[in-house]
Structure 1
């Protein structure tokens, strides 16, 4: 890819680098992108905008570059305030720029705290040091960020179905130009066209409900970072084009989850999604998630196509887009069954990561319906979440969430006790109406094991479940066992011995409609 020509005389970054070297007594690295120069000292990074004009960015004069620096600070301090320290003027002339002094201001630079090269999640993934805990912390951080993000005004020109459709067609047109038309792109274009038209009412409804917010816009692995031992966040949000960050929040989530899948870690992708959805409850967003994932994969494929060289270990993003399309054609529904302490949630989480499924947990959603956070105790709020009416509302909500995710093309796990035969039949009917396979994951353990687990969990207070030993006693007395027809579609697992989750996943995914 040819770098864009400057529209006026650029300042000399080498002169600024040399001045920093004299001041610090240490070598300074100069990194160049198509729109920036970044000068790296041991402790700090100085980022300068190039004086370029492109279809998506205009840094052609100093005033525009100064405003872009201010905007970069604003949008990135939302997620990474400890990294973005401020802005400093560059003085002098283009041929002899310098930091400080009394000469006229020539330009501005964003000053960042430098982080270790291996802090990037893209690097950690290659090194094998990116852990599940990092992904969990990142998902929590992004969920909180989206919750607090500004919502697009009704008359704002962002995130409407027509714009989403245009963005999809634009990237496909550019891929056609870069790679040449072919059967692979034609098939992807056909899927995108159909999906975008079908989902237009859903996209509009989500926009009206406040799903289009000022997000990050560029949540791929090289913009995700681990700070300290476990803290995880994102940096380098898009500052130069509002339409690229004022997006449906699922477009942000799509980028991170797609990139993890493209790099061969679907388990991390679905753990990110699991934590995010449990935090925000946006299961309706799964309807549009796969469309946005394919879009993000096509964007990265275009970046690769326009790059002068491709790393040997770089993912095949076009193949990733094709795999996402194929995966969306095989949704299925699984419900758990078993009393408290039988290991349902532990197995459901492990199975969701292994099988690539959306998990919907009754203990979390029941509290959400009553305005509680997952770990808040209902008794402390004077609430009874286990009345017949509360139970009815909870299972109706679980069904609505499951229906949305099935329509989005995902395998779905509904994590609840399902001790009532009527509840199980309602979800079997949901699967029948959706035209997808239905499975019951029946979990069991010896009564003394159940009691010990429930007592320990209740004492720890670190799980959304509020089931006590007394609740367990009632469940064992009144729970309705599976009948012969239900056992025919059940995977029965004893959890007081080690469970082979690979075998469970293979049995579930092997079930055909």
Structure 2
């Protein structure tokens, strides 16, 4: 959804003029609004990284330039370039993540969530959101063209759907108790930088609905992705420390549901790449979907 240009110490992000069901960037004015929203929102967790928005112009010779003169043809988000070895996914793969660094990230996230005002969301609408996602997941995951509908997938999806019907309070109580906030929306290891202080980038600027989350849903997602990289301990430590700092510890069953639901969503999004007219790395997506489904099945076993 964007082109990213890297220099030695800067990153420039140019949003593509595309239209998706969840986002319309066809007009320049819409891209500019999203650029400014991206900077505003991401400064919550990376205030020193997001430098602002600049105009891309045509100079007198008809060349593209970042300057104060010439016709404006687009706009760019400008960021400081982060050190790749300190990105959490890279550091995990290299075995260079310490408990102390994870603790600092957990502390920053706990402070972030503690400072957010609860968003009014009814229990019914919160549960319905998950029901809708599960329906979309099922449609994709059991599609015969992907060859993933093993004997375990449909029963797992049935179990998640049945939980929402039989125990709506498991999720609904989170909304009723005021635990839904406007969070990050895409809390993955590749968005976490182990700087001092840490920084978290690339929140979902284009959809407030997707940013309305239970903090422990986001933290479960981060834990899921760390587990896929072979570092399940990171998610466990993060959740434990945030629960203590926030004085709010969700049940293990709720965390298991969040993890399974996120894993199914990630499996679906992996397969969705294969529906593109010219998918990049087509050999990647089915194995990746299988990885997520295996993690979803593991989490689902904890539901009892």
Flag whether TM exceeds 0.5 (same fold): yes
Deviation at 1:159, TM superposition (A): 6.0
Q: Which consecutive unaligned segments of at least 5 residues does structure 2 have?
A: 274-281
* Counterpart for residue 278 of structure 2: none
> Is 1:147–2:114 an aligned residue pair?
yes
- 2:168 is paired with a residue of what secondary structure? helix
Structure 1 counterpart of 2:259: 293
**In structure 2, what is the equivalent of residue 240 of structure 1?**
206
Rate the CA distance shift 1:305–1:36 in 2: closer, same or farther, 3 A. same
Residues 152-211 of structure 1: CA deviation (Å, up to 9, x unaligned): 1357x9961111211222223233346244423202211111122234223222212211
Whether 1:310 aligns to 2:278 is: no
**Higher normalized contact order (CA 8 Å, seq sep 6+, divided by chain length):** 2
After superposition, the Cα gap between the structure-2 partners of 1:159 and 1:90, relative to the gap in structure 1 and judged at 3 Å, is farther
Matched, 1:123 2:90: yes
Partner of 1:90: 56
Contact 1:158 1:247 in 2 (8 A): no
In 2, the alpha carbon distance for the partners of 1:185 and 1:269 equals 24
Relative to 1, partners in 2 of residues 1:150 and 1:62: Cα closer, same or farther, differing over 3 Å? farther
2:8 is the alignment partner of 1:37? no
Indicate how the Cα distance of structure 1 residues 206 and 129 shifts in structure 2: closer, same or farther if over 3 A, else same.
Answer: same
> Aligned residue for 2:192?
224
Q: How many residues align?
A: 291
- Are 1:207 and 2:182 an aligned pair? no
Structure 1: which 5+ residue stretches go unaligned? 1-34, 330-513
CA contact (8 A) 1:212 1:248 kept: yes
- The one of 57, 60, 67 aligned to 2:23: 57
| Secondary structure in 2 matching 1:310 | helix
Structure 1 residue 115: Cα displacement: 0.9
RMSD (CA atoms): 2.5
Give 1:183's aligned residue.
Answer: 151
User: How far did 1:150 drift?
Assistant: 3.1
Q: In structure 2, how many angstroms separate the alpha carbons of the residues matched to 1:53 and 1:122?
A: 30
Q: CA deviation at 1:41?
A: 0.5
Q: Deviations over 1:308-332 (max 9, x none)?
A: 2439x96811111111112343xxx
Secondary structure at the counterpart of residue 187 of structure 1: helix
Does the C-alpha gap of structure 1 residues 326 and 54 become closer, same or farther in structure 2, counting only changes over 3 Å?
same
TM-score of the pair, normalised by structure 1: 0.53
| Maintained 8 Å contact 2:216/2:239 | no
Q: Bigger CA drift: 217-226 or 158-167? A: 158-167
Residue 324 in structure 1 maps to residue 290 in structure 2: no
